[in-house]
Amino acid sequence: MTPATLTVTFDGQGLPTAAIPTVTMTSPAGDTIALDFNNLTQLNGDYVPQFMGDGARAGRVSTVDIDKAGTLWAVYDNGARQPLYQVPVADVVNPGGLVPQDGNTYTLGIDSGTMTLSNGNSGTAGSVAGYALEQSNVDIAEELVSLIETQRAYSSNATLVRTADEMVDETTRLKR
C-alpha cells in the first residue's frame, strides 16, 4: 500500500484556495475511515507557543496532619496537601480477650477472636484522633492509697530493723 499525498494551498487569510475533497481510507481489516478537511485553516502569522501551568510552586513540608479517617497528610508551605499513609484501625470481636504486653500494647489472644483492619471513621472501627494525648488509665485515688500503705509498711519495717540492730548491740555489750 502506498501512501497518498494531498496538497492544500492557503490564501493570506489562512483559508484554503480551493475546495478540499474528502479523503477516504480503508484499513487492512476492511474498515472505512473518511477524513473531511473542509474546515481546515492555516495559522496566519508567526506561531508563538504559550505555556500555561496548572501546578503550584515548589514547596517544602511544613507540617504533617492526620485526619479522623487515619490519613497522614504532608502539608507544604505553598498550601498543597498530599496524603502519605493510611493508618489502619484494628477491630477485634472480644477486646477483653487481648493479651497485655509491655509498653501499653496488646496482642491477639485465644479469646479475642479475629482482627479486622479498616480505615478510621468508617464502619465500627472508630476514628483516629490526631495530636490527642491518651488519658491516663490509672485511678489516682487507688495509687495514692497504695503509696501510703507501702510507705507505712516501709516505716514499720525500718523500725523493726532498727530495734533488732539495737538488740544486737546491747547483746554484744553484755557479752563484754
How high is the pLDDT of residue 5?
Answer: 81
Q: How far is CA 26 from CA 33, 34, 126, 134, 150, in A?
A: 6, 9, 62, 72, 98
Position 45 scores a pLDDT of 65
Residue 96 burial (C-beta neighbours within 10 Å; 0-12, 13-18, 19+): exposed
C-alpha cell at 3: 501512501
d(CA 88, CA 72): 11
Which pLDDT score is estimated for 153? Answer: 93
Question: What pLDDT is stored for residue 125 in this prediction?
Answer: 75
How many other C-beta atoms are found inside a 10 Å radius of the C-beta of residue 86?
Answer: 14
pLDDT in tens, the chain (176 residues): 667 788 888 887 777 888 888 888 888 888 888 888 777 777 766 777 777 777 777 889 999 999 888 899 999 998 889 999 998 988 899 999 999 998 888 999 999 998 988 888 887 778 888 878 777 777 888 899 999 999 999 999 999 999 999 999 888 888 87
Please report, as a single letter, which amino acid is at residue 111. D
Q: What are phi and psi of 64, to 5 degrees?
A: -120, 150
Secondary structure of 89-130 as H, E, C letters: EEEECCHHHCEEECCCEEECCCCCCCEEEECCCCCCCCCCCC
pLDDT value for 162: 92
